Amino acid sequence: MFTAEMRELIKKVEATRTQRLGTAFPRMSPEEKDEVLKAYHPDYRESGFRALSLGVNRGDKVPVELADLLEANSRLAGQPLDLSRPAYDVDVLIVGGGGAGAAAALEATARGAKVLVVTKLRLGDANTVMAEGGIQGADKPDDSPALHYLDVMGGGHYTNKKELAAALVKDGPGAIKWLNDLGVMFDKEKDGTMVTTHGGGTSRKRMHAAADYTGAEIMRVLRDEVQNRRIEAIDFSPAVELILDADGKAAGAVLLNLETQEYLVARAKTVILATGGAGRLHYQGFPTSNHYGATADGLVLGYRVGAELVFADTIQYHPTGVAYPAQIFGALVTEKVRSLGATPLNIDGEQFVYHLETRDVAAAAIIRECYGRNKGIQTPTEGQGVWLDTPLIEMIHGEGTIEKRLPGMLRMYRKFGIDLRKDPILVYPTLHYQNGGLLIDEHGRTSIPNLYVAGEAAGGIHGRNRLMGNSLLDIIVFGRRAGAHAGEACRNVRLKALTLDHVAKYQQALADSGVVTDRVSPLVLPHYTHGRHED
Ligand code: MEZ
């Protein structure tokens, strides 16, 4: 329910609606984008970052909350552990049971490898199910992977690792077909062609969706498929440290059974980290659209064995998180709402940014409107927000569009007495995605032999800013690539004695760098003490 003051302000939105409908709002020039990003994007707030004191990326800036975890003690420090009698012995160990982990498991299994998936929560509890609006793939006659590539690179400010962006787009059409053939129920026209829309920064309509629960639909099918193929998956068993062999190759992981608090050893010829993102670290105090388990565990595990981080200083704030009501503060309002024509407006009912600017630019423009120009709308819980004029959607596409294409959004707001077909909603940026992660090559390999990374924990594909729908694509493309490569490579791996010497070395490096901390990492689950995580 809106307050009486908000109802008064909504009248200003209604007053400008018809006139706005016929007017295209101009896009920003490159110079304007640069200016708003530098002045208002949280990536440019110096106080949000600090340089790492140890490890491969020593001296590089990362968010302070991540630095605290990278400079923390191992959970295994001082813990004697017998590595000679592993509880599990497999060809491919996959750490993480979201979309990337499941896709990797399917491909590795298809190559005859014995696969084990271990996951912190339940198989499928992951950021994949939080992605709503769609998955990109250049499979329409007016489109091509080359055009998709240009969009990906433009969105990432041309900082992306070119070979990774190329792999992403090249495999795009095949990824959509693979999912469709497995049974993902994409939105289709009566003749069976896929319904596609634009996202921010796309030059073609290539966003394939299952209404506004695309990630959940993809995960439904992948999880079924993992179970159908009898791939072993162990829930509530996060990896807390990687294991190497005497030659420094990845050779498994130490798992923590969350129920019994026991540590168990999993030995593996190849290891794929697919642990997802970091939203639950609430960088700079932002709320998050992320899953409960998104605590950067993979970055910590990978960094401790010497894998390199790239673009760890660039975070994606989704422009439209819920600003009101407080019960769903920070939850995702899918970009598809803007793809379908809803526009962001200030307190005077004026549009201030083109509705499909890339996410970093749109988020910075919203922050500027609220805190730079004082044109935001005050919410009852201290924060600010801007209007997203959702009734425009049905004026553009016809009655029934919201119910059909945004049923999740409609239901979410209805619970609080808000009908987004009739009234605009209040939004503000929410922490959504880590643009960077552990550096991989086209096969998902890191610089540590036999260690792969796929999904949000991997870095380089999106450069400094990811476009909508390229994350669902990346978990499929790089999950499959890593699974296929690891599934083949394991045949030639002969492991030597397992060791955790790198943990002792890391502890020594902490001491040598003068880091004094009683924190332990990986965090595993967020703490919600006093509104933010603290160890
Ligand atoms: O790619 C995403 O992050 C996505 C599809 C989110 C959304 O707005 O729905």
pLDDT tens track for 365-388:
999 999 999 999 999 987 999 999
Do the beta carbons of residue 296 and residue 311 sit within 8 Å? no
pTM above 0.95, yes or no: yes
- How large is the average pLDDT for residues 471-494? 98
Q: Is 200:363 a contact under the CB 8 Å cutoff? A: no
Q: Does ligand 1 lie within 6 Å of residue 456's CB atom? A: no
What's the pLDDT tens digit per position in 435-449?
Answer: 999 999 999 999 999
Q: pLDDT value at position 261? A: 96
Amino acid at 300: V
Phi, psi of 189 (to 5 degrees): -75, 170
Phi first, then psi, for residue 288 (nearest 5°) are -140, 150
Predicted local confidence at residue 79, as pLDDT: 86
Q: Which DSSP string corresponds to 62-116?
A: EEHHHHHHHTSEETTTT-----SS-SEEEEEEEE--SHHHHHHHHHHHHTT--EE
Cα gap 313→453, rounded to integer Å: 18
Whether the Cβ atoms of residue 470 and residue 167 lie closer than 8 Å to each other:
no
> Residue range 316-340: average pLDDT?
97
Longest distance between any two alpha carbons in the chain, whole Å = 73
Residue 394, token pair as written in the block: 């049905």
Does ligand 1 come within 6 angstroms of the Cβ of 469? yes
Angle between the 162-170 and 145-155 helix axes, to the nearest 10 degrees?
A: 140
What angle is formed at CA 193 by the lines to CA 189 and CA 199, rounded to 5 degrees?
85
pLDDT at 86 over 80: yes
Is any atom of ligand 1 closer than 6 Å to the C-beta of 132?
yes
Residue-wise pLDDT tens digits, 229-282: 999 999 999 999 999 999 999 999 999 999 999 999 999 999 999 999 999 999
Catalytic residue among 338, 355, 481, 485: 338
Whether the per-residue pLDDT at 534 is higher than 50: the answer is: no
Q: Report the half-sphere exposure of 236 (CA within 13 A, side-chain side).
A: 6
| Residue located via tokens 């791939």 | 231
pLDDT digits (tens, 9 = 90+) for 514-529: 999 999 999 999 988 6
Cβ 335 under 6 angstroms from ligand 1: yes
Cα of 41 vs its chain's centroid, Å:
18
Pocket test for ligand 1, best of 333, 334, 356, 461 (most atoms within 8 A of CB): 334
The strand ranges marked E within 182-308 are 196-197, 207-208, 232-234, 239-245, 250-256, 263-273
Distance CA 35, CA 171 (A): 35
Ligand 1 pocket residue status of 161, Cβ below 6 Å: no
Ligand 1, atom nearest to 472 Cα: 1
User: Which phi and psi (to 5°) does residue 159 adopt?
Assistant: -100, -10
**386 SS3 class:** strand
Question: Which of 210, 171, 181 shows the shortest CA–CA distance to 194?
Answer: 210
Distances in Å between the alpha carbon of 437 and those of 366, 434, 461?
26, 7, 10
Mean pLDDT of the chain: 97
* pLDDT given for residue 529 in this prediction: 65
> What are the tokens at 37?
């990003």
The CB of 515 under 6 Å from ligand 1? The reply is no
Tell whether ligand 1 has an atom less than 6 A from the beta carbon of residue 133. yes
Tell me the per-residue pLDDT of 17-69, one tens digit each, with 9 for 90 and over. 999 988 889 999 999 999 999 999 999 999 999 999 999 999 999 999 999 99
Phi first, then psi: give them for residue 135, nearest 5 degrees: -130, 130
Considering only CA atoms, which residue is closest to atom 3 of ligand 1? Answer: 468
| Catalytic pick among 111, 198, 318, 445 | 318
Amino acid at residue number 431: L
Structure tokens at 65: 């909350």
Contact criterion met (CB below 8 Å) for 309 and 440: no
CB 279 within 8 A of CB 295: no
- Evaluate whether 460 touches 466 at the Cβ level (below 8 Å): no
Residue whose structure tokens are 């890593």: 482
d(CA 197, CA 207) in angstroms, rounded, equals 5
- Indicate whether 488 pLDDT > 50: yes
**What percent of the chain is modeled with pLDDT above 90?**
96
Q: What is the pLDDT of residues 385-428, one digit of tens each?
A: 999 999 999 999 999 999 999 999 999 999 999 999 999 999 99
Q: Catalytic site residue 485? A: no
The model's pLDDT over 114-173, given as tens digits with 9 standing for 90+, comes to: 999 999 999 999 999 999 999 999 999 999 999 999 999 999 999 999 999 999 999 999
Q: Which residues of 107-140 are buried (b: 16+ CB within 10 A; e: fewer)?
A: bbbebebbbbbbbbbebbbbbbbbbbbbbbbbbe
User: For the chain, what is the total number of helices (H) and then of strands (E)?
Assistant: 16, 23
Query: Cα-flanking dihedrals φ and ψ of residue 211, to 5°?
Result: 45, -125
Determine contact, residues 254/275, Cβ cutoff 8 Å: no
Q: Residue 224 CB: number of other CB atoms within 10 A?
A: 14
Both structure tokens of 261: 């608090």
Residue 216: in which H helix or E strand, if any?
Answer: helix 214-228
Question: Measuring from atom 6 of ligand 1, which residue has the nearest CA?
Answer: 131
| Number of the ligand 1 atom closest to the C-alpha atom of 467 | 1
CA 85 to chain centre: 36
* Helix or strand run (H / E) with residue 326: none
For residue 262, give the 3-state DSSP assignment.
coil
User: How many A from CA of 196 to the centre of ligand 1?
Assistant: 14
Q: How far apart are CA 407 and CA 214, in angstroms?
A: 12
Distance CA 305, CA 264 (A): 19
Of the two residues 88 and 382, the one the predictor is more confident about is: 88
The pLDDT value given to residue 78: 85
334 C-alpha to center of ligand 1: Å?
6
Probe target for ligand 1 pocket from 168, 289, 316, 335, with the most ligand atoms within 8 Å of CB: 335
For ligand 1, mutation pick of 471, 475, 476 (most atoms within 8 Å of CB): 471
Ligand 1 and 134: CB distance under 6 A: yes
pLDDT higher than 60, residue 466: yes
Note if 481 is an active site residue: no
